[in-house]
Structure 1
Amino acid sequence: MTNRFHCPNPTCSYVFDPSQFPPGITMLGCPVCGIRFPYQPVAMQGPAPVPPPPAPMPIAPPAPTGYPGYPAPTSASGAANPFAATSEMPGQTPGYPPPGYPQQPVPQPGYPQPGYPQQGYPQPGSPQPGYPQPAPTEAYQAPPAAQPGYAPPGYDPYAAPATTPGAYDPYAAQPGYAPPGYDPYASQPTAPGGFDPNAPQGYGYAPPNEFGSPTAPTGNPTAGGERVINVGDVPKSGSGGLVIGLFLMMITIGVSTIYIMTKKNPFSTRNIENSTDFSSDIYNFTFQVPSAPWSSDAPDARTGLRINIFAYVNNDTGAGFAMAAQDFKERNPRDREIELGLRDRLNNYFKNAASELIPNAKWIGQPALAYQFLAELNGEQVSGECYAIRNLGVGYWWFQWAPNNAYTQGLKQEFESYRNRVTFQKWRESWKEQSNIVLFTSDNGKYQVEDADGFWQPLRKGTALPEGAVLGIEAQYKEVTGDRKPRADLNIYVLKETGDPKEVGRKFIQKMLEEDAALSEAKVTFEPVNGELPADAGKPPLEVVRFTTRNSLDADRAELYVIAGISDGSSTVVAVGRCKQSLKRLWEPWLVKIVGSLKKT
């Protein structure tokens, strides 16, 4: 049976188990409250010492032979007089001392005998009545015996130090217990015999730190002096090896993951100039890098053209070329996205760019959207070309440029050779375009439109529906950089008029716009959009009507409208989509697709 005992801190509930302590421990630390205190194992204490028996009362030595009750006769020198008279000497009266014998007081009944201490009577040298009395002293009483593993009875850690000699001193360290009131986080009073946490704690412990708290061990605690142990640090089982093993396994997994990601990461910072090929299994291509004087140290081109693959410059001639790519995940980029990615990058890096379409252009064996351009770069006139294609869900963009006087036929052929070094691989052979159609239903639950492109979403919180509308949704093209993302919106109206649904819708919108312009005394004009539908729009189920508008007082109100409708008894249901006219090339195909998908539920 182990002698468990509680933490001496009255506010702590931790219980110590001596069977878990390493041998030779003389100091303990509580893992809950942090208290640290001296400890003496119970086995080392042994039985309580037996108090010594009381000393016997002193016995007066026998007096020299003389008359009973009187001092022995002495000589002039103070020595006993062997020639003093005795009962056998002549002249002695029976019952009386012999002549010349010193007289002594005669004992009286009820009084102590002269010269002999009697119990209950004042002792020689003791205080007499009428004189100041000395402070009474309290007889020493041994404290009750402590039980193994528990504090002594009556132990009060908050009691003041005892002042009576021999009384129990609560500041004296008890075997196996911390000094009363000990706070490991504060400076302690250095009462006599008390534990001072601010004093050096034996071998292996540094002096108190700047905050007044004992510092951590600085040496070998087993080399000498006291040993201190926090019982929370004593291993209770063999779990330490398991924790270390798990930690090492996590490090191994993390390193392996980083290695795998780096191999596949097209943004890897490895020096591709010292390799013969650049490859990306995410974007499904390889590229044979050029040699000097071409350098990949081209931060301006990377930033301006928003390049995530590579960019090279020839610092001798000022020429350069770069390539960007984007994974569109489960679908192919639309024509407008390919063109927008080309023009957005071109206009962001070059100033005053003027472009002309290159007919029947190809790149990596694919039909390409390509332009030749003239622009300004760093105050110098440059010429160049740009190409864009799509393949297996990835969009690719290529740019090449040089100062006008350096953009010779020979340099154009060199650029073409670099462009042809980009080759597709078979890493995306299993890719297939997914169609994730999202249905948007009107508030009355009767009508729906289909979003097959993933651009559309419910109106932003706080945006009210137009008067008479039963559904409102909006789209945001997030692939464009910057704070102002291109937007479009769509509303469904239920109208009382009947007739050709798309014409009923067109007249309704034009009348609404004219009434709105009249409030500001402006005029609005309408211009129909004729010709074939954009190639990306496909063939929608419903026929649509398209027109643009212009406001005489507000140029920002130039907009594109796409309208389709269906008849529902005595009502006409129309879907109206719109965007800014400046974004017509981007949004027109998607507006045609979603507006033309209007149907009953």
Structure 2
Amino acid sequence: MTIVGVTAVIVVIFTVILVSLLSRSRVTESRTTVATSDELRVADKNFAYKMPPAPWAKDQGTQNDLSVTAFALHRADPDAWVALSVSDFKDRMPLQNELRDKVRDHLNRVFANLPPDLAFEPVKWAGHEASKCQFRGEHKTSGTVCVGEAYVMAYKGVGYWFYGWAGERDVGAVADQLDELRERFRTLDLREKWTDRVGNEIVHRSKDGKYKLSNYEAIWKVPPGSDPTTDGDKKADLLLQGQIKQARRDFPPKATLVVAILEGSGDAADVATAHVRKRFTPDPEVFGPTEITEITSDPAGDPPVGPETAGVPTYRLKASPGKEASRAAEKLIVYSAINVGNEIVVAYAYCSWTEREIWERRLVQFVGSLRP
């Protein structure tokens, strides 16, 4: 072989090795974290964060204490902190109550005397729909009373949590910095083909074929050995109990669905309204007056799995028992009705008012699927 031939072979081999290394590098970057001096880019979690300059520096101790996955940063004089956590939910979008439960979990690790109920409000963050809450608590290590904000959102199957806080006396001096640090976060476009997993349709039918309802989560079951009328409705034909199992909850969120069959052929909605209101108005001489109010605002909380298009109109009520009943006794009620021959089929579902954001859109979807 001539020198020219040998040289050509060497060039070809070198080119193949170089292409292989570059290809391997691209694959590696698509799956792992890439950090430069001023940017953290995590491709498999679909986000990037532009790191701030001094006096901000990484704070591994706070990251461990808060149990956040991405980072925690701290500055001194005055002291202030920010932190980011990220979790991949794979082929599904996390529910709002899952995201908010994680906020409570994070904050409770570091702060004492937090408000019992963190009030979330809708906001925009990194160009996406998000929620935020303000918090005030006593730092468990230093005893300093701190004030801060938590932002939370989900995008393409990934949940993101951002926290910023400082001592109550110092927060005014660093508030603009905390906002600016939060806005250094951005999502990437590496999950454009991602799709949310939709469960199979689960159909619940009456034994005689008069009606059926559908949902897309395996969370509803007939109570073992129960008579449908045991829930208190003598006209009940079907009784289902729903339960959402969640980590870190001793008492999982629960709801009840009842289908009642009433005699008559009048306006289904009017008959259903009278029946449901009576069902949730106990004897006032024993239980005190019950206030039942119609809900006209948009349904709140987590979207259900599957389509939300209702086949029949749905109606919502809030039942507030009298005699200084606790808030836990208040109920959200969702119902619908259809005419079937000389009968009216009424489907209603209810849950504790305190769990409205977990259940409302699910219940609207479920009772709204009522059909012959």
Q: TM-score, normalised by structure 2?
A: 0.72
Match for 1:490 among 254, 257, 260? Answer: 257
- 1:79-113 deviation digits (Å, cap 9, x = unpaired): xxxxxxxxxxxxxxxxxxxxxxxxxxxxxxxxxxx
Aligned to 2:191: 428
Confirm whether residue 396 of structure 1 aligns to residue 160 of structure 2: yes
- 1:415-467 deviation digits (Å, cap 9, x = unpaired): 33432333322331210234324223234144222224x26331354555335
Aligned to 1:551: 321
Aligned to 2:22: none
| Pairing 1:348-427 to 2, within 5 Å after superposition | 350=111, 351-353=113-115, 361-378=123-140, 379-409=143-173, 411-427=174-190
- Structure having the larger proportion of residues in strand: 2
Q: Answer yes or no: is the 8 Å Cα contact 1:547–1:562 preserved in 2.
A: yes
Q: 1:459 to 1:277 in 2, by over 3 A?
A: farther
CA distance in structure 2 between the partners assigned to 1:348 and 1:572 by the alignment:
52
* Amino acid aligned to 1:532: S
Q: CA deviation at 1:565?
A: 0.8
| Pairing 1:94-109 to 2, within 5 Å after superposition | none
Aligned to 1:578: 350
Q: Answer yes or no: is the 8 Å Cα contact 2:318–2:331 preserved in 1.
A: yes
CA distance in structure 2 between the partners assigned to 1:280 and 1:349 by the alignment:
26
Q: CA deviation at 1:528?
A: 1.7
Aligned to 1:255: none
CA distance in structure 2 between the partners assigned to 1:539 and 1:430 by the alignment:
25
Confirm whether residue 296 of structure 1 aligns to residue 57 of structure 2: no
Aligned to 1:527: 292
- 1:580-599 deviation digits (Å, cap 9, x = unpaired): 01112332122111111111
Q: CA deviation at 1:401?
A: 0.7
- Structure having the larger proportion of residues in helix: 2
Residues 486-495 or 440-449, more deviating: 440-449
Per the alignment, in what secondary structure is the counterpart of residue 432 of structure 1?
A: coil
| Pairing 1:308-319 to 2, within 5 Å after superposition | 308-314=69-75, 318-319=79-80
CA distance in structure 2 between the partners assigned to 1:560 and 1:375 by the alignment:
31
Q: 1:449 to 1:343 in 2, by over 3 A?
A: farther
Per the alignment, in what secondary structure is the counterpart of residue 298 of structure 1?
A: helix
* Amino acid aligned to 2:144: E
CA distance in structure 1 between the partners assigned to 2:218 and 2:105 by the alignment:
19
Q: Answer yes or no: is the 8 Å Cα contact 1:577–1:595 preserved in 2.
A: yes
- 1:102-138 deviation digits (Å, cap 9, x = unpaired): xxxxxxxxxxxxxxxxxxxxxxxxxxxxxxxxxxxxx
Q: Answer yes or no: is the 8 Å Cα contact 2:82–2:163 preserved in 1.
A: yes
Aligned to 2:49: 287
Identical positions, percent: 25
Match for 1:459 among 196, 216, 222? Answer: 222
CA distance in structure 2 between the partners assigned to 1:491 and 1:265 by the alignment:
49
Q: CA deviation at 1:288?
A: 4.6
Alignment root-mean-square deviation, CA: 3.7
Q: 1:299 to 1:388 in 2, by over 3 A?
A: closer
Q: Answer yes or no: is the 8 Å Cα contact 2:210–2:340 preserved in 1.
A: no
Q: Answer yes or no: is the 8 Å Cα contact 2:292–2:317 preserved in 1.
A: yes
Aligned to 2:245: 478
Instruction: Decide which structure has the larger Cα Rg and report it.
Output: 1
CA distance in structure 2 between the partners assigned to 1:340 and 1:541 by the alignment:
33
Per the alignment, in what secondary structure is the counterpart of residue 503 of structure 1?
A: helix
Q: CA deviation at 1:525?
A: 0.8
Unaligned runs of 5+ in 1: 1-259, 267-271
Aligned to 1:450: 214
Per the alignment, in what secondary structure is the counterpart of residue 228 of structure 2?
A: coil
CA distance in structure 2 between the partners assigned to 1:315 and 1:459 by the alignment:
58
Q: CA deviation at 1:576?
A: 0.9
Matched positions, count: 327
Q: CA deviation at 1:397?
A: 1.9
Q: Answer yes or no: is the 8 Å Cα contact 2:311–2:371 preserved in 1.
A: no
Q: 1:310 to 1:502 in 2, by over 3 A?
A: farther
Say which structure, 1 or 2, has more relative contact order (CA 8 Å, 6+ apart). 2
* Amino acid aligned to 2:312: L
Per the alignment, in what secondary structure is the counterpart of residue 290 of structure 2?
A: strand
CA distance in structure 2 between the partners assigned to 1:463 and 1:325 by the alignment:
43
Unaligned runs of 5+ in 2: 1-26
CA distance in structure 1 between the partners assigned to 2:220 and 2:46 by the alignment:
32
CA distance in structure 2 between the partners assigned to 1:302 and 1:402 by the alignment:
15
Q: Answer yes or no: is the 8 Å Cα contact 1:288–1:421 preserved in 2.
A: yes
Aligned to 2:13: none
Q: Answer yes or no: is the 8 Å Cα contact 2:313–2:336 preserved in 1.
A: yes
Q: Answer yes or no: is the 8 Å Cα contact 1:514–1:523 preserved in 2.
A: no
